[in-house]
Amino acid sequence: MLVNSALVVALASLANALPSGLLARVVDAETASQTSYDFIIAGGGTSGLTVADRLTENPKVSVLVIEYGPFDQKEDGVLVPGAYFPVPYLWLPLFSTPQTALNNTVYGVPCGRAVGGGSAVNAMFFHRSSAAEYDAWDDLGADGWDWDGLLPYFKKSETFHPPDAAYAKDRNITYDLSAHGTSGPVQASYPPYDYPGSKNFWNAALRLGIPTIKDPNAGEAIGIFCLLHSVDPANQTRSFARTAHYDRVISARPNYHVLPNTAVGKVTFTGTTATGVEYIDRASGAKSTAKATKEVIIAAGAVHSPQILQLSGIGSKSHLQGLGIKQLVNLPGVGQNLQDHLVLTVNYNYTNNLFPNGGSLQSNATYNAEQRALYDARQPSAYDITATTGNLIIFLNLQNTTSAAKYQSIVSSAKSLNPATLISSTDKAVLKGYANQRNAILNNLIPAGEAIGDISWNTAEATSIYMTRPLSRGSVMAASADPLADPLIDFGAGTDPTDIEFLLAIYKKNREIMSQPEIKVLGAQETSPAPGLTDDNAIKAALKAALQPSNAHECCTLAMMDRGQGGVVASNLTVYGTSRLSVVDASIWPFVTGGGPQATVYGGAEKAADIIKKRHGI
């Protein structure tokens, strides 16, 4: 409960006096430090705001969310899909360490930094992963985080808007209503517009026997489907954690505070019981502390949550010693197990492409103005589609992307590798957890035909290949005790050579798709990364040079696994060896799943909120 009752009254009357939408619940550093909260949430991103919303449904429960970034200003780049790219709200500049398997290249690390976090800047693709992947999480120690345990929360998180029936029939959009929610905060819809070239892509896939999928969010997704978006169809604007879990509720929630532009530096403890946080005003550099009587909840995303724990004394002894930080809890898994989806852009030149296409908004000012006018008049238009992306995606497994012999050789080579030589941690528990993950992937998920990646063509130059089943693991390690210094982010991209074999298999499948008559007729010619190359080793070298280690889907750095397997949080979300400290963001995933992460982050945060409410009797 809020102890500062004068503040409650002041806020309540302020809220009444202000038009709705004004940020009456935004507090300053001083107010936050003088108020005793039930819960403090470090990070106001996708998961942080979801949990804050659910906890403050009870007016007696007070929550402070501390967010490093600002509120967005409702710019077109944030809200309008066709105007997408909200650069001001990315964490910039932020770089990886030199990637040893990729010629020591340094890459940018994309992640969101705003109220709403990644959901404020993401490409709005909204899909879950396959049931078998969540079931494997449960097997690895995340008890209850299997498909059956998550499905009710996936539904709770969303309102699914079926497309117009005639449009759906024309575009081959199918869905399974029984897998969806009808009254959740995040709005999910299909863009009501598409480019003519999507039909060519669809039919090229069908010609190769690639199956169509009734609904990829129902637990199975191998084949081609139309992407669902986190877009509110009422006005075709982004639906994100800020609109769904803050704007929607805040006028009635004097118990829900947000402190923006502020970095959480570390968690404060009495013994091993969390009591609050220390935070830094980014403008002035001033440090303050705030108290939480029930729980401190970490939600700073997979790149920054490990840094907060490490600066709080939770991690491996040698690492903390090197930073001059006294160890509070020995948890060598903190910051290990970093995973992401790898991205390879394959560009084509089309001598005879259809108009309009995914590049027309950028290349044709007349078309752009025409489409924007339609959008502003609430008519279907190219502005309904996330800029420069396509509506269709093909999920592929290893069996269907390569020959039976090659499949066998890739899997058996992968099994012959010694896990201990593939990751930087020498901790026995961390190694055991990694070995278990490799077993789950190589002996279970891959043989069962689960996806290794996907392909999407934007109907213009770019085809995007996503390799979603990495066996390589990276790490996030605080570089100094300064909370405002960037951590060392090592994706470990390609350190297990199996990942490059997976990528090569998808790349070759993409060549096959793009050489079908439906695409050939458009005059498709590969221009990068490996035009004309036919030798596998030469192609692999070209792919490695063009590869991006991150699709902004960082996860898994505070894994929910057994402590004896390098796990950091228990299945009830608490950090091992501590009390009143939990983690709710994408850091807790044992391994990265095949779909885009946001739907799973929202569902997981809904589940997390229920677990936390239950243990505090709220």
Ligand X SMILES: Cc1cc2nc3c(=O)[nH]c(=O)nc-3n(C[C@H](O)[C@H](O)[C@H](O)COP(=O)(O)OP(=O)(O)OC[C@H]3O[C@@H](n4cnc5c(N)ncnc54)[C@H](O)[C@@H]3O)c2cc1C
Residues that bind ligand NAG (CB under 6 A): 79, 103, 171-172, 199, 202-203, 209-211, 222, 232, 234-235, 237, 349, 351, 355, 364, 366-367, 370, 397, 399-400, 449, 525, 527, 545, 570, 572, 574, 615
- Binders in 18-57 for ligand X, by CB under 6 A: 42-48
Contact region with ligand X (CB under 6 A), list: 96-104, 149-157, 301-309, 425-433: 301-309
State both tokens at 263. 């970095």
- Minimum CB distance to ligand NAG, residue 104 (Å): 7
- Minimum CB distance to ligand X, residue 188 (Å): 11
In 3D, which of 443, 458, 567 has the Cα closest to residue 514? Answer: 458
In the chain the first and final C-alpha atoms are separated, in Å, by 12
- Minimum CB distance to ligand X, residue 597 (Å): 4
11 touching ligand X, by CB under 6 A: no
- Written as one letter, the residue type at 617 is G
177 CB-near residues (< 8 Å, 6+ apart):
160, 162
- Binders in 561-590 for ligand X, by CB under 6 A: 585-586
**For residues 173 and 588, what is the distance between their CA atoms, to the nearest angstrom?**
33
257 touching ligand X, by CB under 6 A: no
- Minimum CB distance to ligand X, residue 89 (Å): 8
- Minimum CB distance to ligand X, residue 605 (Å): 7
The entry of ligand NAG, ligand X, none near residue 43 (CB within 5 to 8 angstroms by kind) is: ligand X
In 3D, which of 96, 188, 122 has the Cα closest to residue 492? Answer: 96
319 CB-near residues (< 8 Å, 6+ apart):
310, 335, 477, 478
Closer CB to ligand X, 427 or 486, in the complex: 486
438 touching ligand X, by CB under 6 A: no
Residues 331 and 448: beta-carbon distance below 8 Å: no
DSSP string for residues in 174-195: ---GGGS-BS-SEEEB--S---
DSSP state at residue 254: T
**Burial label, 377 (beta-carbon count in 10 A; 0-12, 13-18, 19+):** exposed
298 touching ligand X, by CB under 6 A: no
- Binders in 592-611 for ligand X, by CB under 6 A: 596-598, 601
Question: Does 408 show up as a binding residue in the annotation?
Answer: no
Closer CB to ligand NAG, 57 or 143, in the complex: 143
Closer CB to ligand X, 299 or 503, in the complex: 299
Q: Specify the 3-state DSSP secondary structure of 98.
A: coil
223 CB-near residues (< 8 Å, 6+ apart):
205, 210, 211, 212, 213, 394, 395
- Minimum CB distance to ligand X, residue 468 (Å): 12
Closer CB to ligand NAG, 396 or 552, in the complex: 396
- Binders in 119-158 for ligand X, by CB under 6 A: 119, 121-125
Residues 401 and 506: beta-carbon distance below 8 Å: yes
- Minimum CB distance to ligand X, residue 234 (Å): 20
Buried/exposed code over 190-222 (b: 16+ C-beta within 10 A; e: otherwise): bbbbbbebbbbbbebbbeeebeebebbbbbbbb
Question: Does 437 show up as a binding residue in the annotation?
Answer: no
- Minimum CB distance to ligand NAG, residue 482 (Å): 30
The sheet that has 342-350: what strands, in order across it?
Answer: 223-226, 392-397, 451-457, 462-467, 342-350, 524-528
Question: Does 46 show up as a binding residue in the annotation?
Answer: yes
Residue nearest to ligand NAG (CB): 449
Q: Please give the distance of CA 543 from its chain centroid, rounded to a whole number.
A: 24
The entry of ligand X, ligand NAG, none near residue 47 (CB within 5 to 8 angstroms by kind) is: ligand X
Give the annotated binding-site residues for FAD: 46-47, 264, 597-598
Q: Which residues contact ligand X (rule: CB under 6 A)?
A: 42-48, 66-69, 110-114, 117-119, 121-125, 263-264, 299-301, 304, 308, 552-553, 585-586, 596-598, 601
Give the annotated binding-site residues: 46-47, 264, 597-598
